[in-house]
Amino acid sequence: MKSVLEISRSLQWKLLVFVGVFFVMATSDHAVKAGGNNSSRYIAYVGTYSQNGSKGIYRLEFNSETGSLKLLEGTSAIENSSFLAIHPNRKYLYAVSEVAKYKGEDTGSVVAYRIEGDQGELVELNQLATGGAVPCHLSIDSTGHCLVIANYTGGSIASFRLKENGELDSPMASLMQHHGQSINKQRQESAHAHSANISADDRLVYAADLGIDQIIIYHLDPQTAKLSENEPSIIKIKPGSGPRHFTFHPQKDFAYVLNELSCDVIAFKRNPDNGDLKTLQTIPTVPEVKPGYSTAEIRIHPNGKFLYASNRGHNSLAIYRIDKSTGLLTALGNEPTGGEMPRNFTFDPTGKFILVANRVSNNIIVFRIDQETGLLTRTENEVIIPMPVCIRFLLK
């Protein structure tokens, strides 16, 4: 018979073997899951203009560990599917058709798609007129009930209620027409709504109108998607500035508008109660404004420390540090975008990279972000896509 000591040692050995086997199995299972669910793999969509052989909306596979890009097949989409927005439930994608005519009327259109499969394929749901020509920007509120669109040539803001199945509800909920002009006779002969951004609390829409040098604030009903006049309703910008895109600070009550014609950024202190904007600062995006220069996109890094703006003609991203106490910007320089006429750019889901769409040179280039300084380093990762305008990531 075995002694008590021998039995105890035998049990200890078996326990150690069991723990060891369990550890190996557990770590192996974790490795399989990490590889199987592709935790570093993301799908991104690229909206384009229908030129140079473009197929419409393209899909990319992005590796957030390496910054590498892989081009998936394009989706035959509507004409000039330039700007995109993804529903907060990640099941639907919406795209404007940036055209002057739709079904014989002086209007563009918007299309709803369902997102399917691991590769993010798009299936069209429905398409509706936007009530104004050349829609160029759209946003969705955090509830997923409302979509707002800026009609550039039409000079108006349209809003739609979104159905539970992702379709656009008809008729549209609201159409708010802008009126007026400003001092640039070539670009500001009439109203040109260029963006429509929804506040984080889903109560207000800020519409930047390039043609009349104004930011118009609307009240939004998130249940019906109806827009109404807010008080205050108009923020006047210096004549000839041409406000284009607008963004909110992710943690503080600051907001920023990018002026296309004057190539500068205005920093605002935002009143969260009534939405009013108080000007804090105006800062240039380029060392010197020259003929042919204009701006395109403005975005704040998710950490709230840095702001970036794209310059066309100068072909660069302007980089700024944000003072989180005051909202003021400090210029850190300009990074060449590695292509011509940069439009939209976006951060990858980890915040480690910026992807820049260069429209005229037909390429998207990846830059690594220094998390401490905000400065950019160009990587070797690049993909060729005809006329890229807008990049949107499908988050997990």
pLDDT tens column, 214-224 = 999 999 999 99
Q: What are phi and psi of 25, to 5 degrees?
A: -65, -40
CA 333 to the chain's CA centroid: 22
How far, in Å, CA of 384 to CA of 261, rounded?
29
For 43-71, write each residue's pLDDT tens digit: 999 999 999 999 899 999 999 999 999 99
Mean pLDDT value of segment 95-110: 98
The pTM (predicted TM-score) of the whole model is 0.90
pLDDT at residue 98 tops 90: yes
Token pair listed for 224: 């019906």
Per residue in 330-362, pLDDT (tens digit) is 999 999 999 999 999 999 999 999 999 999 999
For residue 17, pLDDT beyond 50: no
Residue 95 has pLDDT above 90, yes or no: yes
Find tokens 């009550």 and name the residue: 253
Say which residues have a Cβ less than 8 Å from residue 216's Cβ, sequence separation at least 6: 157, 176, 178, 206, 207, 209, 233, 234, 235
What class, spelled out in words, does domain 40-394 have in CATH?
Answer: mainly beta
| Per-residue pLDDT at 12 exceeds 60 | no
Share of the chain above pLDDT 70, in %: 90
Phi, psi angles (nearest 5°) of residue 9 = -65, -40
Q: Which residues contact 391 (CB under 8 A, 6 or more apart)?
A: 44, 45, 46, 47, 344, 345, 346, 355, 357, 364
Q: Are 126 and 95 in contact (CB under 8 A)?
A: no
262-301 pLDDT, tens digit per residue, is 999 999 999 999 999 999 999 999 999 999 999 999 999 9
CB 156 within 8 A of CB 172: no
What's the mean per-residue pLDDT of the chain? Answer: 91
CA distances from 12 to 5, 15, 210 (A): 10, 5, 77
Long-range contacts at 165-172 (CB < 8 A, ≥ 24 apart)? 165/125, 166/87, 166/91, 166/92, 166/112, 166/113, 166/114, 166/125, 167/112, 167/125, 167/126, 168/94, 168/110, 168/112, 168/125, 168/126, 168/127, 168/128, 169/225, 170/128, 172/128, 172/130, 172/131
